[in-house]
Amino acid sequence: MVATADTQIDTDTLRVTKWTIPAGESIPMHIHEHDYVVVPLVSATMHLRDPDAVETVSHIQQGRSYHRQAGAEHSVANQGQSTIEFIEVEILRGR
């Protein structure tokens, strides 16, 4: 299996995407042009890598929300044993 993104809502002000990242898979380097909120559907550990190859381990808890600011550029890797699933809500001001 590969990582997938399923856009569930896409309006002028909001985009909601469900991400699924199987164990051992990753999302390639990308940039967020808008503020966004991540809501994990399961607790997991994500490995975030920035453009300078600095890796940060992020422990996400099911049902919590995590705010990220526009301009964040990173890749996400699932180095755990279980599939990571989360909802990403992008705030599309001025889209």
As a whole number of angstroms, the distance between CA 93 and CA 83 comes to 31
In terms of Cβ atoms closer than 10 Å to its own Cβ (0-12, 13-18, 19+), residue 57 is exposed
Q: Mind listing the pLDDT tens digit for each residue in 19-47?
A: 999 999 999 888 888 899 999 999 988 88
Q: How far is residue 11's CA from residue 36's CA, in Å, rounded to a whole number?
A: 14
pLDDT in tens, 82-93: 999 999 999 987
* Per-residue confidence (pLDDT) for residue 30, from 0 to 100: 87
pTM assigned to the model: 0.85
Predicted pLDDT of residue 50: 82
Task: Give one word for 13, left, alpha or beta, with left for phi > 0 and alpha for psi -120 to 50.
Answer: alpha
pLDDT of residue 72: 80
**Taking residues 48-68, what's their average pLDDT?**
87
In degrees, to the nearest 5, what angle opens at C-alpha 47 toward C-alphas 43 and 52? 155
